Chain A
Amino acid sequence: MNPILKWCYQLAVPHILYPRIQAWLPWVALVTFSLLALGLYLGLAVAPADYQQGEAFRIIYVHVPAAWLSMAVYVAMALMALSVLVWRIQVAELALVASAPIGAAFTLIALITGAIWGKPMWGAWWVWDARLTSELILLFIYIGIFVLYDAIEDKRQAGKAVSLMTLVGLVNIPIIHYSVTWWNTLHQPPSLSKFDTPSIHIDMLIPLLIMLLAFKLLYLLMLMLRMRLSLIERQPQAAWVKALIKPATTGDKP
């Protein structure tokens, strides 16, 4: 078998995935926090103020990465849901459930930072335009996913149910993305997805791109932390978990 493909297949095996998470965690953490620090420094201290909004525009360095991530996490969850329903991969089910609260948190951050910016710039904390409303619906879908998983006792059944719900909710993602082009909204159209005509000055763009990458890695880091726990929680009696705990307990007693 192709070694890269084999390596990927092995991610679905709990007792191989766990030591890999352990080995990678410090490196992912290091890169994530370095990029976050660099992006925040460049964005908050180095980038020039905006010609209209002044210093207030700097909330873009949290708002846009959080909003992008709220959609990216959902697309990742939809792929996990597909692997659960078609290939019955248990690890994907754990990753799906572990991702939902993270996605919800970033959606909430995007909504709150948007409101804080909206009050001085638009003159309103909240308006019911298509972009804001569809993003709010995304938050409810995220909450629905992890509440549904908690509500069903049999976790294999719960995994299938939330996978199905995740795939149904996927229809909201293109609506969020295109809402600003399909309809008249108070929310501005995208600044980034048209590179030919720069809508954002290069000195402001570079910190934003760093923050976008840093937020993606932050999701990966949080997912790894949560997965480490749920892998053990799902099969506390598995041989590899017992082997993992044994040396630690014998080590405590000299």
Chain B
Amino acid sequence: MSPLRRKRLAKIGLLLAGVALAVGLMIMAFQQNMMFFFSTTEVVAGKAPLERDFRVGGMVVEQSVERDPNSLLVQFTLTDYQTLLQVEYSGILPDLFREGQGIVAKGRLNEQGVFVATEVLAKHDENYMPPEVAQSLKPQESAN
């Protein structure tokens, strides 16, 4: 490689390193804002803001969903497998919402420490399989 080309290559390398460093520092500074939601442990530990809306994500605990027969009110418990958080929501739930499913809820905590959600989104996992396979996996999981 000729000296001129080597010099150009070195300049470009320097440029890329500089840009990567700048963006890396920016992302670290915004780390908190890059998170789409808080985990239930973070919320229970008081790391989530109290004065404004935030999102909390976790799994819907099995057999915790209670629907009010006279309204759209739903109550369920959310977990990250360490702590539990009671959630209350009034509205239409997405198709994928079910017990054992990961969801993200937006809203704020009330005085009783119950999370009052104004929006519930289902979080899909990365697993794709036909229904028969899902069926055959179930007994194994409960056996473990």
Contact A167 B96 (CB under 8 A): no
Is residue A82 within 8 Å, beta carbon to beta carbon, of the partner chain? yes
Within 8 Å CB of A204, what residues of B?
Answer: 128-130
Contact with B along A36-63 (1 / 0, CB 8 A): 0000000000001111110001001000
Interface size class of B (residues with CB under 8 A): 35 or more
Our pick among B5, B96, B123 for the contact of A53 (Cβ within 8 Å) is B96
CB atoms of A86 and B5 under 8 A apart? yes
Q: Which residues of B contact A229 (CB under 8 A)?
A: none
Whether B128 pairs with A184 at a CB distance below 8 angstroms is: no
Confirm or deny: B120 has a beta carbon within 8 angstroms of a beta carbon on chain A.
yes
Tell which of A122, A168, A184, A203 touches B39, judged by Cβ atoms closer than 8 Å: A184
Given contacts A127-B36, A183-B35, A184-B36, are A122 and B128 in contact (CB under 8 A)? no
| Docked-complex contact B16 and A167, CB < 8 angstroms | yes
**Known contacts being A124-B121, A130-B34, is A199 close to B5, with CB within 8 Å?**
no
Q: Are B94 and A191 in contact (CB under 8 A)?
A: no
Does A11 count as interface, using CB distance less than 8 angstroms? no
* Among A53, A85, A183, A186, residue most surrounded by chain B Cβ atoms (within 10 Å): A186
The answer to whether A123 and B120 touch (CB under 8 A), given A60-B128, A186-B104, is: yes
B8 at the interface (CB under 8 A from A): yes
- When the two chains form their complex, are residues A171 and B19 in contact, meaning their CB atoms are under 8 A apart? yes
Known: A51-B134, A184-B57. A120 touches B95 (CB 8 A): yes
Separation of A130 and B34 alpha carbons in the complex (Å): 6
A152-177 CB mask vs B (1 if < 8 Å, else 0) is: 00000000000010011011000100
Q: In the complex, what residues of A have CB within 8 A of residue B72's CB?
A: none
A116 to chain B, nearest CB (A): 14
Q: Is the contact region of chain B dominated by helix, strand, or loop, or is it mixed?
A: mixed
Q: Are A123 and B121 in contact (CB under 8 A)?
A: yes
- In the complex, what residue of chain A is closest to B8 when comparing beta carbons? A86
A49 to B93, CA, bound (A): 22
In the complex formed, the residue of B with least CB distance to A172 is B23
With the chains together, A183 CA to B38 CA distance in Å? 10
Given contacts A82-B12, A129-B36, A185-B36, contact A122 B130 (CB under 8 A): no
Q: Which residues of A contact B132 (CB under 8 A)?
A: 48
Determine which of A48, A50, A168 lies in contact with B19 in the assembled complex, contact meaning CB atoms within 8 Å.
Answer: A168
Contact with B along A189-230 (1 / 0, CB 8 A): 111000000011101100000000000000000000000000
**B124 interface residue (CB < 8 Å to A):** yes
Does B29 have its Cβ within 8 Å of any Cβ on chain A?
no
B94: which of A121, A168, A175 is its contact (CB, 8 Å)?
A121
- The reply to whether B127 and A199 contact each other, CB–CB distance below 8 Å, is yes
Given A57-B128, A167-B12, check contact A183 B34 (CB 8 Å).
Answer: yes
Q: Mark B89-129, 1 if CB is under 8 A from A, else 0.
A: 00001111100000010000000000000011111111111
Question: Given A82-B12, A85-B8, does the pair A50, B35 have CB atoms closer than 8 Å?
Answer: no
B35 contacts A184, CB within 8 Å?
Answer: yes
21 contacts between A and B (CB under 8 A): A48-B130, A52-B124, A53-B124, A82-B12, A86-B12, A120-B94, A123-B97, A123-B119, A123-B121, A124-B121, A127-B36, A127-B121, A164-B15, A184-B39, A184-B57, A188-B126, A190-B126, A191-B126, A191-B127, A191-B128, A204-B128
Q: Which 4 A-B pairs have the closest CB atoms?
A: A123-B94, A48-B130, A51-B134, A129-B36
Residues of B near any A CB (own CB < 8 A) = 5, 8-9, 12, 15-16, 19-20, 23, 27, 34-39, 57, 93-97, 104, 119-135
Residues of A within 8 A of B (CB): 48-53, 57, 60, 82, 85-87, 120-124, 127-130, 164, 167-168, 170-171, 175, 182-186, 188-191, 199-201, 203-204
